[in-house]
């Protein structure tokens, strides 16, 4: 039975966790972000919530850019490590063994193991509670065409997606995932 409470209830999982990357000068970092979203298709705009005390936050503010990366389930250790370690202790890419290349339109790292990545130039930053909502114009798109079907959806015979449940636990969306057709009812 549904009950009412005054305590904050957070329920946004399971969901994809974005790996946010940024570089300012020779310093780069990667962080895991569960709170992120498309904002606009045309023009393409993406947003991510980053707390000011995160090491990546100042790199994004200084450089004016960032990248959003999504990795297959076999690289969920990147998500876990990026979320648990701090870039203040040195290069997380090196410590976690993460391969990357420099973005084409921004200086942010693009993960070579990502199946999708977006390069973003900061458009706006606003504080909401304990996080800044960082909004970026999407300036370049990267996609591993081999893992997508003709319908432009992930082919679960070729890629498994890690859906974060919380507390370092993941559900894997894979070939055993079924699609349920829901009857469409137009709202009036």
Residue 182 is predicted with a pLDDT of 63
For the ranges 55-64, 90-99, 138-147, 172-181, which has the lowest average pLDDT? 172-181
What is the tally of helices (H) and strands (E) in the chain? 3, 12
Residue carrying the six token digits 């114009």? 137
- pTM score of the predicted model: 0.91
> Which comes out higher in pLDDT, residue 179 or 26?
26
Using 50, 70 and 90 to split pLDDT, how confident is the model at 169? confident
Position 184 pLDDT exceeds 70: no
Structure tokens at 88: 């203040």
Tens-place pLDDT, residues 123-134: 999 999 999 999
Q: Which two tokens stand for residue 15?
A: 């969901």
- Residue range 32-58: mean pLDDT, rounded: 97
User: Do 118 and 65 contact (CB within 8 A), yes or no?
Assistant: no
Q: Please say if the pLDDT value at position 51 is more than 70.
A: yes
Q: Give the mean pLDDT of the chain.
A: 92
Give 1's contacts (C-beta < 8 A, 6+ positions apart): none
Provide mean pLDDT across the span 21-49.
97
Single out the residue of 105, 102, 180 nearest to residue 136, CA to CA.
105
Does 188 score more than 70 pLDDT? no
């Amino acid at each position: 039975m549904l009950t009412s409470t005054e305590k904050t209830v957070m329920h946004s999982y399971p969901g994809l966790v974005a790996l946010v990357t940024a570089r300012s000068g020779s310093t780069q970092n990667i962080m895991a972000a569960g709170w992120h979203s498309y904002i606009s298709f045309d023009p393409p705009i993406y947003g991510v919530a980053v707390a000011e005390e995160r090491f990546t936050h100042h790199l994004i503010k200084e450089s004016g850019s960032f990248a959003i990366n999504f990795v297959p389930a076999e690289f969920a250790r990147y998500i876990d490590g990026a979320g648990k370690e701090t870039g203040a202790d040195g290069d997380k890419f090196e410590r976690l063994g993460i391969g990357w290349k420099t973005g084409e339109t921004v200086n942010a790292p693009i993960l070579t193991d990502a199946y999708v990545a977006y390069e973003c130039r900061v458009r706006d930053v606003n504080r909401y509670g304990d996080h800044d909502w960082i909004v970026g114009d999407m300036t370049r798109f990267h996609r591993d065409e081999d893992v997508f079907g003709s319908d432009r959806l992930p082919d679960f015979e070729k890629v498994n997606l890690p859906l974060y449940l919380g507390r370092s636990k993941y559900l894997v969306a894979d070939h055993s995932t079924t699609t349920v057709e829901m009857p469409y009812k137009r709202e009036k």
